[in-house]
Structures are given as C-alpha cells and as structure tokens.
Structure 1
Amino acid sequence: MEEETMQELRSKAAELLLREEYKDSISAYSQFISLCQDFISEKNPDAAVLERLRKSLCLAFSNRAEARSRLMEVTEALEDCDLALRIERSHVKTLLCKGKILLSLNRYGMALECFEAANLEAQSYENVDLVSGLLEKCKRLDYLSRNGGFDISDWVLSGFTSKTPEFAEYVGAVEISKSEISGRGLFATKHVESGTLLLVTKAIAVDRAIMPPDSSENAQLVIWKNFIDKVVDSASKCSRIKGLISMLSTGEDEESLGIPDIGSFTDSDISSEKLDMERMLSILDVNSILEDAISAKVLGKNVDYQGVGLWVLASFINHSCDPNVRRLHIGDHVVVHASRDVKAGEELTYAYFDILLPINNRREMATTWGFSCRCKRCKFEENIFLKQDMRDIDMVFGKKVVDMGNVVFRLEEAMRRWAIRGKGKGHLRASFWQAYHQVFECEKSMKKWGRKIPLMNVVVDSLVEVVGSDERIVKVFMDGLKRGRFNGAVEMEKALKLGRGVYGKIMKKQALRSLLQFGSAQE
C-alpha cells in the first residue's frame, strides 16, 4: 500500500513539473521523499527493493532541484543536487542541473566540473548535444572571465539589432581597499591605459520603465519599489547573493567596515550575514546605480528606458570631480573601463553628477546626493575662487547671455597671470566647459576669438587628462575634425583614443569609428 502511495505521488510530482506548476511539484516531491526515506528506515527492504528506491530518491531530489531552480530558489536547489549526487555520483540530469545553477551564479570553475563529469556519462543520456553545448558555453565563459577578451564589434556594426553579446563576470586589475574619499573604494593594481577593461558584472536585480519627461514622482517610486522587491526576492532565495549584498555599506560607521577579498566576487564561497529589511533598504539607498547617468552609456534595447539596479562590485566605486572610469550598460551587465590613463594604486572613481561645471554648481549637486566632495580638484578650485577676478568670471559665465568667447579669453588670461599650469588648467577649463563648447561650436565665435584662445585640441587634451573622456568632449573634437579645423592621422588616432575612453576597448576600430562618426544610432 505504501509503495502504491509513493508511486502515485511520484507520478503526480512529475506531471506537475512537466506542466510547470513548480510549487505544487516541489510539495509533491517533498512528500514522496519523506515517505520513501521513512519506508527505507522502517521496513529495511531487501537489496533489490532498496536499489530501486534509491534510484527513485535520486531522481526525486534531481527533479525537485530542477523545480526549485526554475523558481530561482538557488540555495535549496543546490542542496537537492548534492543529495541526489550522494546517491548516484554520476547522475547526468543532476550534474546538468547543478552545473546550470552554478553557471547562473558565475561559478564557472565548479560548473565546468559538473559539465565535464556529465560529458563522461553523456552517451547514456538522451540529449548528448545539450551536454556538449553546455560544456562549450561554460568553457567559453570561463575563458572570458579569466582574460576579459570581450568583443561587441559585430553587434555595434549591426546597429544593435543582432544578438546581444555574451558576457561573463570579469574582474581585472583591481582590488578593494580603504579610501581617502569615503569608506572603501576600488583601486587599480597596475598602470592601465585609457579604455582598459576593469570589470564586467551582472546586476543582482534591475528594474526599468519608459519614463516620459513629465513623469510624476509616483512613477519613479513604482520603479524603486519593484527594484527593491526583486533584490529582496533574490537575496531570500540565494545565500551567495545575500552574502554579496551584506558586504555593502549602509552609509554609516564606514571606518569599521572590513575589506572584502576581491576573490569573493569570482569563483569562491561567501558567508551570509544577517540582513534585515531595514539594513537592506539602507544598503540599496546608498549603493543602487542609475543606468542613465552622466558617467554611463546605455547600449542596445534598453536605451529608451530608465533603469535602476544593483551591481555589487561596481558599488564600491566612489565619486570624484576628477573621475577616471566610465561604464557601459549592456543588457543586465555593467562594463567598467578606464576613461583616461590610470596609475597603479590610484583609486577608481566616476562622476555621480555632471562635473563639467564650476565648483558652486557641483557643491549643490553633491549636497543633493548627500555628501560633500573633497577631491583634489574641489580643494584647488576653492582656493582659486577666493580671487575676485575668478568670482567675476563666474558671475559673467552664470548669466548665459554674454559672448562666451569673452569668458574663455578672460579665464585663459587669468590663468596666465596666476601661473596656473598642468592639471590646474584642465580643472578650470572643465569648470567652464560650456563656455569653451559654445565658442568651438560657433563659426562666428571662432572667427572672432580663435586666435586669442587655445586651440581646441589643446583644450581637449588638458580636459581629458583630469576628467577623462566624456561624450560631450569627444563630440566637439569630432565636429572639429569634420569642419577641417585640424586633420591627419595623428588627430584620427587621438579621436580613437578619446572614443576608447568613452566606450572602452571592447570593440574593433571599425565599430568604434561607426560610433564616433555618426554617434550612437540610439541617441
């Protein structure tokens, strides 16, 4: 009678799994497993019956793992896989299920072990091509995760209409350390050139919506609520995700926080800490990232959406008005690359807000973000803006109706009188970028002021040295090329270097030229 009941439960659970009624299937398999285990311990069946029951148990654990994985109940699914493999170490279906879960968690090394073990037994499995396909995919992602050899050229050249490029988690020459800016930060471990890829990571969760310009605050709150729900759900179903989130700061008691090993973000285990709702909300408030930001570029199908997400490792990057990295958002992945040359040991930073503005404007925006910026540029400009001539220039600039050529001329003359050189010039030119931009874009202004102010490429070089490549700076430089203000191979190479600072070294020259020449087709 008991064996009949177990058989009925097993058939019911299998049918529910096929119908994709995963919760009910899990319940039925749990009942079957409990009855089967009780039967074995209480009835002490003979060897033949015991072997049959053990095989049934193995398949039940495997199928329950499959159902749980479909509901993204990752931790429990992996536990079921391990229980099944204790019964039959080479159970192909379980090895594939476990491998796919580990692959979704970016645990490439462990996933590869599962797929290789399954491949050894693949001849006895009904879908040999599935096994070999998963094995090859895992090898490819494992390779990409080690060398960062991503290439989105074909996708770019197709106008973003072909299949979205495949990404793996990648951590380049970076480490987490104590920051002089705030709490902990991400630092370069070696000298890297502009455009160098530093990290690629997938969002824990992201929510997006098309937001018209006149959208209400309630619409923004809906996105935020949906995002929070997704993060909470992911953390509740996966101990690794919960552990990653618990590493992040709540914005309080920064000095007492530990320094996570960078290996925690690759193929290693993470211990999970207590993470109540209050702490979770504080973490998300401090660490969530807007996709459509001044230091970022969204490529592909999400370009028309406003999105907010949580990318854990990228959340360690602090703000500076002298930023040195930018990000690309492609699908649910964020790609972080150097926007200018970065020295070994230098902290990686990007702009949380528009930094091509004078210090008073930047102070206001920093206050909106809830902090006070004390970067080298801000300290330098605080002293310079004590000068009356500087305040006069700023006042005239602020009126926005005057001849901006006069503002640029007065600023350049002031820097000459004050013997400001090197990065100091770049700082002030960045602060009054809008004035330079208007002059360089206007033929009438260039005829009037062109001989009295520095050449465009000189200004661009000084800007990029301190604030890195920026789409607006690149656009002005490309316009100068098109108008014939300067030309030649040297200038084209400079344009490509500027472009790599915006888009990173993840595409070939032809694809980069298409973005630089025509601008993104999505703009």
Structure 2
Amino acid sequence: MNNIQELASAMSGLCSEQDAWAHFHKGTLVHLHETAARTHSHLRSGRAAGRLLTSSLSVAEPNASLATVALQGLTPIRLRELKVGHTHHGRVLFGTLCVNPFKINGIMTVLEDDQGLAVRVGIYNSMSTPSALRAKYSKGAKVAIKEPYFKQTLDGSVAIRVENPANVVRMAEVPGENQSPSMVVEEEPRQGNGVDKGRKVRLLTVFNRAETHFQMGDFERALEVCNEGLEIDPENLKIIFLKGRALHSLKSYDQACQVLQMAVELSLGQVDIEDALRRSKAACARSQHREYDISEFLLGKQPPPEVEDFVGDVEIKKTRGRRGRGLFATKDIDVGELLLVSNAAFIVNGGVRGLEIDQSHEIKGSLQEDLVDAVSNAANKSQKLRQQLYELDDGSVHVRSSLPAMDSFHTSRRVTAEVLPQPNLQRIRDIVSRNSFGGEFQTFGEERREDEESLGFSGLWMLPSFINHSCLPNATRLNVGSAMFLHAAKPIKKREEITISYFDALLPQPQREGFCGVWGFKCNCKRCSVEKSISTALESLNAQFEALHHDALEETNAVRSAGQDFPAELPKSAEFAQVSKELEQILAKFPRMKDEEKNWVRASYVTAYWAGMQWDKLYSVDEIVKAVVSTVPGDFRALAMVAQQLEGLKHQIGSEGSAVEYCAAQARDICVRVLGTHSEHIIQALISRHAKSTIF
C-alpha cells in the first residue's frame, strides 16, 4: 500500500475511496479523541482508552527514526500526499492542533491541515514537564511535524507517530505558500545547556532521597524532601505525586487530595495518579462522614480492610478524683453510634495462644518489650509521633493534669515547629505500660479449635489511650485488624465520660482488681464498690469459683464441640452451678440492694449461671443475658447466648410466634450494642453467625 487510495481498496475489499477519506474527517476524529479522553480519565486501568487510541500507536516501528533535521529546507506536504508506512524524508507537515491533548504512553492529539483534513497524532519519548506539554500541544497551537511517519494502526485506521518530540515545532502561524518556515517558527526553550542539566541532576537527587525515605516508611522526612524539590521546580510531576502519596500515608487526606489534584492536572490523565486521587478522596469521605463498611470482615468473608482514622463527638477533659484525664461525649449519643476509629500508631504481634496482654505478666514482658522497641525506633523518625507520645500518661503528675488539644490526634493537623527530643527509653516503657492495649485477634462467630493458635498482639493507639476503664463500661472497642473501632454500647449523655473495660469484666471483683494492677490503678466504679461492700460474704464463693471455673467450662465446651446433647450428668458443671445457687442465697440476705446492683454481682459469676443453665436449666437465657447487658452491654457473649436461643426456638416452633419475635428483637438490640449499627440484613447475618460461637 503506497497511498491512501491503496489503503481504501485493502480494507475488507468493501471500503470506497470516500470511506477511506473518513479517516481524515475532523469531526469524527475530534469526537473519538474526546470520548477516549473522558473514558481514559474514568477507567481505573485505562486499558479501554488505550485500545481506542494508543494500543496500535504505541508499537514501535523499525523505520521510525529518532533523528531530527533542521526545519529550514524541508518541503511542505499535505495530508492527501502522505503514504502509509512511509517516513517522509525531507518533508514537513504544517497544521493546527484541534483538541486538547491527553497522555497514556504518549501525547495524544489531532492535527488539522490547511485543507480541513485531520489526522490523529501520537508523540512519544517526551521528557518535558507536564505544564510545558500542555502549553506546547494545547488546542489551537500551530505546529510543524518534521519528516512525518504515517502508519496504519492495528484497528485499521491511520495516524502519524512521532518518536522524537523535537520533530514537532511550535509555529507562530502556519506559513503561506510564499513564506519560508523559518520566518514564522517560535523560539522554544533550549535543552541540554549546563544550567538545565544541573537543575535536572538536582531534581533527580531530591526525588531519589524522598523516594528512599518513603520506601522506609519515614513519610514525614519524605514530605520535607519533596518540599525541597518543589522549591526548585514547583511543577515537577514525580515529586508532586510522591508528596501526595506521603501525605496520604500520614493520613492527611485533605492535603493529599489537594496535591494529587494538582498532579492529575499536570499529568494529562496518568492513570496511577488518578487512582491515587480517588483513594485519597474516598479516605477523606470515610474519615469525615463515618462511611465504614466492615461487615464482610465481621462475617468472616474478607480480611480486615484498611480504614481511615475518624474522631467523632468526643473531647478530652479532666475527670473527677484521681483518674486524670478522660474522653467525654460532646453531645447525646445513641446506642451503636461510632465514636472514633483509630489505627494503631505501633503494634507488634506474638504467637502465643490464649495469653492476653492484660491478663499475663509473662506475655506483658515479651510483647511489650517488642512494643517499646517499635515505639522508640518510630519516635526517633517522626516529630508528629513524638508530639503525641509526650501527651500520653507516663505516670507523672504534670502529664496527667495537662489537657492536650484534640487536634493533636486529628490526622490532618500540622506538625508543630517546636522540635521535641526523643523520649528516653524509661519514659517510653512507662508510656507503653500505662497506655497499650492487647489481646488476641478475633474471628467473629466461629468456634475455636483446641489445636488452633491465636496470634496475640500488643499495640499503642493514641486517642483511645485517654479512655478510662470501668467495670460498668458504656462503650465497646472492636479491633478490625490494627484499627480500633469504638462505639456506644448504651445511650451516652452529653458531657458523660466514655469508658471501656480493659479486660474481661465478667469475673469476680478480686480477679478484676488483679488485672487493674497491670496498669497500676484501682477501679472504684459503682459495681466494684457494691461487691467490696459484701466482700466478706463472697469470700468463700470466690475461692470455689476460681477452683472450678476452668474445668467446668472445658467440660461443657467439649460436649458442644462434639455436637452432642448434654448428658444427664456433667460433674464439674453441676458442681460449678452450685456457685450460682449459693450466690442467690447470699444476695437474698441483702434486701436493700437494688435489682440493678444484684445483676452487676450476678454478671461477675455469669459463667456459673451458664453452667447451671446448660446442666439442669436452673436459669433462663433471659435472666443471664439481662445480668450481662445491664453490666457490660457490649459483651459479645450476650449476643451469642441470644443468637443460640433464637436458633433453638426457630428449630422447635418455627420462625413465627411471640417468643421468636421477642428473642429476635432482643438479639438485634444486643448486636447493635456489641458490633455497632449496620443494615438490617447484615445484622441478621451477624446474629446467625454468632449462633455458632463458643460462648465461654
């Protein structure tokens, strides 16, 4: 094929010469270009747009030369004269760009000649800045293409491919027939001089430094170095993009969106930059509007998702007594409402099954030392983290009495200009000891096999460190991977302190008091005060509870794991159930004790009540659940009890009836207390999943 007429006859043997000239129809090409540009900007992969405009243009041709020649002396050529598959040596094509460009592998545009015909143009290997590209190839620009290479693309159309951007020269105007091209050529920036080379070397050095810090996780230093580079070249795309990624990693989503938007505008539609902007916008929306969906994780269908920090209607204030500071509600809060989401500033994982940081001095010694090392190393790099660490309780009176600003814990806050020293190792140990949380990573609603190993963890969450403990908590913490979700387990009034339980609160007061010692405090909540007031009467009962607790639960769980009906005799469970009977006799001796206070005490021995119900139906599920919900409303075991009861009722009497409706409503209420608010079908799925749980 030597010219466009030959191409016309070769296209399926059916195309007329008029059809072939449609390849040069300006309106058609402009429409295709603009459609591709829009599609490219919205598609995540960009591949569809690539097929439309660039897949065929991006294939290098063996006769496409990178050499360039002087414009002077070249003979003009028009589109009608171009031959497919030829590089037109000694010729120059003049025209006007009739679209704004966008970039995939190269710069994509459309050129119109002086006869009103148009052609697609792909310009590759450009090293210019994005702003320079936009200026040079903007709509309406007059250009000359030296020695144009005209090709047939894989989709059967035709286009000009330019391997060397220097072969596209900006013109003041398209020269007339009697004008020399040299008379109207615009002067372009000179490339390759010593000043330009030195600037490029400096920018490359800065970028490499920033990228190294970024890859090492030192995002603050990467941000600082990016700012150094932008002082040299404010429109350097690579550095702007890296700055946006660093801001996103620092959870400064608002600022990340602003910087990445600038990168998108400079990049002419680069897909990875557009994807980064979308992620930052989504993160910003979630952190501002509580748009979190963790249902797939709670249902065991997906691993924990990455989530963004969120600070709800809470503030740090001084507490009464010697509790120092705490977290308080700034408005009335409903059950299930999200209070905050906080990603761990530091977290370390262990592999010891069944040991929890808040229950074992042994695991405290191992995991917390690892955590101390992690905090020390990270604080050495990050000024922002040092600022937050200095706000946390380390046991000193000054720190416990100070009230840090809430914006210290907002992700978008700026780092103070004050340079804080690295805390010494002992101070870090004190901070970790008083503020870390730990336990086991949970898989909700599944039975745990005896041979299954559960990874323990110890971590430091900044804002949650201000939440005080209570054995009558009003909030529930939920670990979603390394993120901590906190939501209201009961209605919370404005200015009421938000509290959680640092450990399993469904245990007798002496055991709870021992766990409080791990953090170095004593709990004086109303529940503890009630149990202390009758401690003499409970003394022998506590000894029985501690002696029988483990063996009785192992006995009942073994029967449940085997899927068997409970036998007539379970000796350990029967003996353990006597603890609940004796407790009822003790409570009967205190007629002035309120029903609510009695339920608090019952909750301390709830496992004995559960054993009694399993063994000979001494108690109803409703009685046990009422004691738990009135004491620790966000405890998942109450949900598991009601979920199992609901499944049993449906199996016995079907899905209708007042008993089933009551139990279903109770299960729904407890589910919201335990796992927060979700759509109705998710709540029902969570209830069904918890029916399979091992409760104690």
Amino acid at match of 1:501: R
Distance 1:382 1:255, change over 3 A: farther
Please point out which of 440, 444, 454 is paired with 2:613: 440
**What SS class does the counterpart of residue 487 from structure 1 fall into?**
helix
| Aligned residue among 239, 256, 259 for 2:383 | 239
The counterpart of 1:510, out of the listed 681, 684, 694, is 681
Corresponding residue of 2:511: 361
Q: 1:254 to 1:522 in 2, by over 3 A?
A: farther
Equivalent of residue 129 in structure 1, options 259, 271, 274: 271
Q: Does 1:196 pair with 2:341?
A: no
Distance 2:660 2:693 in 1: 29
Q: How does 1:424-463 map to 2 (within 5 A)?
A: 424-442=597-615, 444=616, 446=617, 449=618, 456-463=621-628
Q: Kindly state the Cα deviation for residue 497 of structure 1 after the two structures are TM-superposed.
A: 1.9
Decide whether the 8 Å contact of 1:78 with 1:98 is kept in 2.
Answer: yes
Residue 349 of structure 2: SS of its match in structure 1?
A: strand
Identity of aligned residues (%): 27
Native 8 Å contact 1:204 1:234 kept in 2:
no
1:364 alignment partner, SS class = helix
Selected match of 1:413 from 588, 602, 618: 588
Question: Offset of 1:342 from its aligned partner?
Answer: 1.9
Q: Which has the higher helix share?
A: 1
Task: Indicate the residue corresponding to 2:257 in structure 1.
Answer: 112
Matched, 1:83 2:228: yes
For 1:303 and 1:325, the matched residues in 2 are separated by: 29
CA separation of 1:487 and 1:394: change in aligned 2, threshold 3 A? same
How many angstroms does 1:370 deviate by? 2.3
Alignment correspondent of 2:214: 69
Equivalent in the alignment of 2:665: 493
Pairwise CA distance, 1:411:
4.8
Partner of 2:567: none
Shift of 1:439: 2.6
Residue ranges of structure 1 left out of the alignment (5+ in a row): 1-45
Q: How far apart in 1 are the matches of 2:491 and 2:331?
A: 11
Structure-1 residue corresponding to 2:156: none
C-alpha separation in 1, matches of 2:547 and 2:630 = 28
Q: In the aligned structure 2, how far is the partner of 1:56 from the partner of 1:397? A: 74
Separation in structure 1 between the aligned mates of residue 544 and residue 231 of structure 2, nearest angstrom? 77
Tell me if structure 2 keeps the 8 A contact 1:289–1:310.
yes
User: Where do 5+ consecutive residues of structure 2 fail to align?
Assistant: 1-190, 447-451, 549-574, 653-657
After superposition, what is the alpha-carbon deviation per residue over 1:317-344, rounded to whole angstroms, capped at 9, x for unaligned?
1111111222222222111222222222
Contact 1:404 1:438 in 2 (8 A): no
How far residue 208 of structure 1 moved from its aligned partner, in angstroms, is 0.8
Aligned amino acid, residue 170 of structure 1: F
Question: What is the CA–CA distance in structure 2 between the aligned matches of 1:503 and 1:297, rounded to whole Å?
Answer: 13
Instruction: Quote how far apart the aligned CAs of 1:462 are.
Output: 4.7
| Alignment check: 8 A CA contact 1:106 1:168 kept | yes
Instruction: Provide the aligned length of Structure 1 versus Structure 2.
Output: 457
> Which 4+ residue blocks in structure 1 deviate beyond 4 angstroms?
212-222, 296-303, 390-400, 520-523
> What is residue 430 of structure 2 aligned with on the other side?
282
Q: Is 2:293 the partner of 1:151? A: yes
Pair 1:394–1:287, CA change in 2 (3 A): closer
Length-normalised TM-score, structure 1: 0.78
Q: C-alpha offsets along residues 258-282 of structure 1, whole Å, 9 cap, x if unaligned?
A: 2122222121124353322221221
Alpha-carbon separation, structure 2, partners of 1:481 and 1:299? 18
1-structure distance, mates of 2:288, 2:389 = 23
Q: Which has the higher contact order (CA 8 A, sep 6+)?
A: 1
- Larger CA Rg, structure 1 vs 2: 2
Matches within 5 A, 1:317-466: 317-385=467-535, 388=537, 400=548, 401=575, 403-404=578-579, 406-407=581-582, 409-411=584-586, 413-414=588-589, 417-418=591-592, 420-421=593-594, 423-442=596-615, 444=616, 446=617, 449=618, 456-466=621-631
Whichever residue aligns with residue 470 of structure 2, its letter is S
Question: Does residue 470 in structure 1 map to residue 611 in structure 2?
Answer: no
C-alpha contact 2:244 2:256 (8 A) present in aligned 1? yes
CA distance in 2, matches of 1:481, 1:300: 15
Q: Distance in 1 between matches of 2:444 and 2:371?
A: 21
Q: Secondary structure at the match of 1:50?
A: helix
TM-score, normalised relative to structure 2? 0.60
Check if 1:138 corresponds to 2:280: yes
State the secondary structure of the residue aligned to 1:291: strand
- Which of 396, 399, 402 is the aligned partner of 1:252? 396
Deviation, 1:408, is 5.1
Q: Which moved more, 1:298-307 or 1:62-71?
A: 298-307
- The alpha carbon displacement at 1:53 in A equals 2.4
Structure 2: how far apart are the matches of 1:134 and 1:56? 27
Q: Which moved more, 1:323-332 or 1:52-61?
A: 52-61
Change (3 A) 1:213 1:467: closer
8 Å CA contact 2:336–2:488 kept in 1: the answer is yes
2-side partners of 1:223 and 1:366: how far apart? 18
